[in-house]
Chains A and B, each alone.
Chain A
Amino acid sequence: MRRSPLFWWLVFAGGILLSFSVALAQEKLIFGYSAPGLGDEGQWNIQKGFVDKCKELGIEVIVTDAQQSAEKQNNDIETLIARGVHAICAVPHDSAAISIAVQKCNEAGIPFFTIDRGVTAGNVVLTVKADNVKAGAIAGEVMLRLLQGKYNGVAKGKVLEIRGQPGQDVAEQRAQGFHQVLEKYPDIQIISLPGYWNTEEGFKITVDTLTANPDLDGIYYHADLYIPGIVEGVKAVKGEFAKVGEPGHIFILGIDGNPAGLDQVEAKLADGVVVQPLRDYGALIVPIIVDYLKRGEEALPKPGTVLVEEGASWSPAMVVQTAAGLEIWTNVFYVDYLGAGDPNLWGNKPRE
C-alpha cells in the first residue's frame, strides 16, 4: 500500500518531537546560587554545602558573588534569569533590596529560594535558615546560668551584646531571643551596640565598653567573626586575658560555630558557641528544589511538621508559615570546650 506524503511528513514531525522530548527529559538541571559575599567563613560554607549537594545530584550550578553589594546581587540574579537557570537560590545581602530581583524572577517563572535570610517582597517558594530566635535564647539561657553561678544563684550582672547589622532579620532575631530570656531579670543589664559584622568594630566596642564598665560580666556576640576582636579588646584593657575558669574571666559566648570560633572555645578563650548547621543548608534545600521542579507545591513540606533525619546536623527542623512565606527553621545547639572539637561540626570539616 502506498502511503501518502502527508503520512511521511507526520512520521518525520513525530520523530523530531520525540527526539526533542527525550532531549528535554535528559536536559541537565542548572541552578543559580547568588551569594551576598563569599568573604567570610559562614557564607563560604553555605555556598560550599549547596554546590556539593548539587554536584552529588548531577546538577550544574552557577555561583555568583555580590561582594556585599545589594545592587550587584540584583544584577547577578538578572544575569542568572537571562542564563535560563531552572531555579535560583540566594542568601540575600539586603532583604528589601533583593525584592526587585525576586519579582523579576517570579515574572520569568523561575522558582526562587533563599537560605539564611528572608526577603521583604516577592514570591519566595521556601527559605531555609537557622532558628535564630532559638539560637539567641539558648545563648541567653547559658549566659543566665553562668551569671547565676558567679553570683551564688542570684540572676544579676552586666552583659555586652555585640550585634550584627541593625535592622537585618538575622541580627534582630538573635537579639530578640537573647533579650526574651534575660529581660525577665531586672538585675541583669544588657548593653547593646552594633558591630556591623566587622571584626575591628567588635574590638573597639569591647575596649570602650570595658573602659566604661570595668565590672562587665559577660559578652554575647552575634557572629564568630567578632571573637578575635573581643579577645584582643579584653587584653588591651585588662592587660591580660583570663581564660574560662580562671579568676577575672569575662563570660564570652555567641553564635555561628566557624573554625575560628570553635578553636577559641576549645582553647577556653570563649565559654561556648551556639552552632548553626551552615554547611548542611544545601543538603536540606537542594533535594526539595529538585522535587519542587517535578511536582510543584505538593513537594513542599507542610507548615507545622517537624523534619527529622537521623544524624543530620539540621535535624530536627520545624516547618513554619511566616508573613514572609514558608520557612524551615533548622536545629541549633550549644557547644562548650568539651564539644568544640567534634569533627562533625561544620567548622571542623575540611574545606575541600
Chain B
Amino acid sequence: MRKREFLKFLLDNSVWIIIVVFFTLNAFLTPKFFTLLNFRNILIHSSILGIVVIGESLCLLSGHFDLSVESTLALSAVLGSMAVKNGLSIPLAIGIMLMSGMLVGFANGTLIRKLGLNAFVATLITYIGIRGTALGIVEGKTIWNLPAAFCFFGAGNIGILPVQIVLLAVLYLLFHAVLIYTKFGRHVYLVGDNQLAARISGINVDRVVITVFMLSGLLSAFAGLVMAGRLNSASPLFGTGMVFEAMSAAIIGGISLRGGIGSLFMALGGVVLLSSISNVLNLHAVSPYWIQTIRALMILFAVTLDSLKRRLVRYEE
C-alpha cells in the first residue's frame, strides 16, 4: 500500500521530479546554473508564458483549445501602449487592455457555444483576426519608451523580488484555489471530462465554457501588459509562436488534451521545465544551428521519463 502511495506521489508530481533531476544534473554540468541569480532568471523567463499557460490550461481542462492567446497578448500590449502614449491614464489603459482580452474570450466562447463552431476553428479565426487588428492599428510600428509606472508589472520590484515572479506565484495560487475549492472549478473539470453528463447534472455548460474563454483572454491580455513592461515596448509581433509553447508546457505538465485531467501546479512545472531548458542552452552558448535540435531532444527526454514512470506505475499495480 505504501509502495502504491509512493508511486502515485511520483506520478502526480512527475514533472517536478524531472525538474529536480534536471536541476541536479545541471548544477554540476552547467557553469553559473545553480545560482540564485540564475533561478531568478528562470522564473522571470517563465512568468509571461506561465500566465498564458494558466488560461490555456483552463481551456484544455474544459476540453477546448485556445489558439488565440498569443494574438490577444499582442493586441493588449499594442492597445495599452498606444493608450498611454496618447495621454490616457495608466489605470484606464490597463482597463482597456484587460477588457480587450475578455472581449476576445467572450467572442471565442460565443462562437463555440452559441454558433456551434469547433474550438480549434473558432479560436483560429480570432488568432488570425486579432493579430491582424493589432497590426492594422499600428501599421507594423513598434511603440517604445513607455512610462515607468506602466512597466511596473513587467520590470518592477517588490523588495528584492521582481514583480513578474510575485505575479506568477499569486496567479497560480489563485487559479489553483479556484479550480480546487470553488464550484466553478469543479464544473470546469466536469465539463472537460464529460460534457453530456455535466449538462444532465444541471451544469450550465455554455456559461462555464464562455467564462473559461473570457478568463483565458483576460490572462493573455494581462500577459501582454507584463510583456510590454518587461520589454519597455509593444509590437504587433509580440508572442509569435507562443501558443505552441503554452500548449507544450500544459501537456508536458500532464494536462490531458481530452479535458478533465491535470492540475495547474503541474502545468507550472511544464513552464519551468521549458524555460530551464532554454536557459541551459543559452548558458552553454550552444551553436545557433543545433540549438533547436538539442531543445527538442531535451523535451523528448523529459517526456520519455514521464512516460516510463507511468508504465512503471501501471506495472506495479
**A interface residues (Cβ-Cβ under 8 A, vs B):** 37-41, 43-44, 67-68, 163, 166-167, 191-194, 198-200, 203-205, 207-209, 211-212, 225, 228-229, 231-232, 235-237, 258-260, 263, 351
Contacts and interface: CB of A to CB of B under 8 A. Distances in A.
A44 B139 contact: yes
The CB with the most chain A CB atoms within 10 A, among B31, B282, B286, B287, is that of B282
A38 B288 contact: no
Nearest to A37: B237
Contacts, number: 114
B265 to A, nearest CB: 24
B283 interface: yes
A193 B290 CA distance: 10
B310 interface: no
Nearest to A47: B140
B44 interface: yes
B279 interface: yes
12 contacts: A39-B235, A40-B142, A200-B239, A204-B278, A208-B278, A209-B283, A228-B142, A228-B231, A232-B232, A236-B44, A258-B142, A351-B139
A192 B285 CA distance: 7
Contact of B237 (A40, A259, A351): A40
Contacts of A43: 140
Contacts of A205: 282
Interface string B238-281: 11110000000000000000000000000000000000001100
B238 A199 contact: yes
Contacts of A192: 285, 287-288
A211 B35 contact: yes
B288 A194 contact: yes
Given A41-B142, A208-B38, A209-B283, 14 more contacts: A38-B139, A39-B140, A40-B235, A41-B140, A192-B287, A193-B282, A199-B233, A200-B238, A203-B230, A204-B45, A209-B285, A236-B41, A236-B44, A259-B141
Given A200-B231, A236-B155, A208 B142 contact: no
A258 B142 CA distance: 10
B236 interface: yes
B227 interface: yes
A38 B135 CA distance: 8
B140 A232 contact: no
Contact of B227 (A191, A200, A259): A200
The CB with the most chain B CB atoms within 10 A, among A166, A211, A259, is that of A211
B37 interface: yes
A211 B227 contact: no
B113 interface: no
A193 B291 contact: yes
Nearest to B280: A208
Secondary structure class of chain A's binding surface, majority of residues: helix
Contacts of B22: none
A163 B286 CA distance: 13
B289 interface: yes
Contacts of B135: 38-39
Nearest to B32: A212
B259 to A, nearest CB: 29
A56 B227 CA distance: 40
The CB with the most chain B CB atoms within 10 A, among A38, A203, A207, A229, is that of A207
Nearest to A230: B231
A228 B231 CA distance: 6
B289 A232 contact: no
A40 B288 contact: no
Contacts of A40: 140, 142, 235, 237
Nearest to B242: A200
Pairs A-B, 6 closest by C-beta atoms: A208-B282, A44-B140, A228-B233, A194-B288, A39-B237, A191-B285
Nearest to A229: B231
Contacts of A263: 144-145
A242 B131 CA distance: 35
A260 B232 contact: no
Interface string B109-149: 00000000000000000001001100100011110110000
A39 B236 contact: yes
Contact of B38 (A38, A198, A211, A260): A211
B101 to A, nearest CB: 18
B51 interface: no
Given A39-B235, A198-B240, A225-B235, A208 B230 contact: no
A245 to B, nearest CB: 20
Interface in B25-56: 31-32, 35, 37-38, 41, 44-45, 48
B41 A207 contact: yes
Nearest to B237: A39
A228 B141 contact: no
A191 B31 CA distance: 15
A332 to B, nearest CB: 21
A198 B37 CA distance: 24
Interface string B132-176: 100100011110110000000001000000100000000000000
